[in-house]
Amino acid sequence: MGHIRDCAVSLVFAPDIGTVVDIGTGGGLPGIVWALCRPNLKITLLESVGKKCAILEEMAGMLRLSNVDVACSRSEALSLERRERYHIALSRAVGHLGVVAEYASPLLTVGGSACLFKGPRVLQELREIGDRWATLGFDDPVIHPYDLEGKSLCLVRLQKTGPCPARFPRNPGKANKSAWWR
């Protein structure tokens, strides 16, 4: 139940209509929670593991979520197909803030935003990136701290103010191996 509560925290940033991509959705969180609570949103659950995709398709069908699309792909590949088509990018428990921002930027429209769930390492990750957010077309992040079941967590909001440079997305795996902010 804690995972669902965690996902529900971000609903304050959910518009009534628009397109959302949940990057590295895993078991469907937070995307499924958003789909249930905001039926007018079109939500893409992005997952690269085939078995998880099959389960997500089944779950969306059982819950009759006509507003959910499962994309069984890596973010780098989806970015080539659906470049700058999403209003919001979500991500929970995927990786380093800079890596997830690199995944999100090519998918987001200018004016869109990333809503990234982060834990205690967020301050270290923010220090590492510093003031280099414009490299991906983002404004400086806004941090929204919250406590859940005794854990200090936060949502990092990145507003996309400019286009994503053509060099992104990079080849699969490159985001984890070669940090754009260094």
Average pLDDT over all residues of the chain: 96
What is the reported pLDDT for 62? 98
Domain boundaries, given as residue ranges, for the chain: 2-177
CATH 3.40.50.150 fits 2-177, yes or no: yes
Provide the pairing of β-strand 68-72 with 86-92. unpaired
Residue 8 has pLDDT above 90, yes or no: no
Tens of pLDDT, residues 31-69: 999 999 999 999 999 999 999 999 999 999 999 999 999
- SS3 of residue 169 by DSSP: coil
Which range (1-10, 98-107, 124-133) has the least confidence?
A: 1-10
User: Token match 């590492």: residue?
Assistant: 128
Cβ 139 vs Cβ 108: under 8 Å? no
| Residue in 64, 87, 82, 99 with CA at minimum distance from that of residue 17 | 87
Helix ranges (DSSP H) in 22-150: 31-37, 50-62, 75-81, 97-104, 122-129
Half-sphere exposure of 72 (CA within 13 A, CB side): 9
**CA distance linking residue 58 with residue 155, whole number of Å:** 29
- In the chain, the percentage of residues whose pLDDT exceeds 70 is 99
- SS3 of residue 92 by DSSP: strand
CA 152 distance to own-chain centroid: 20
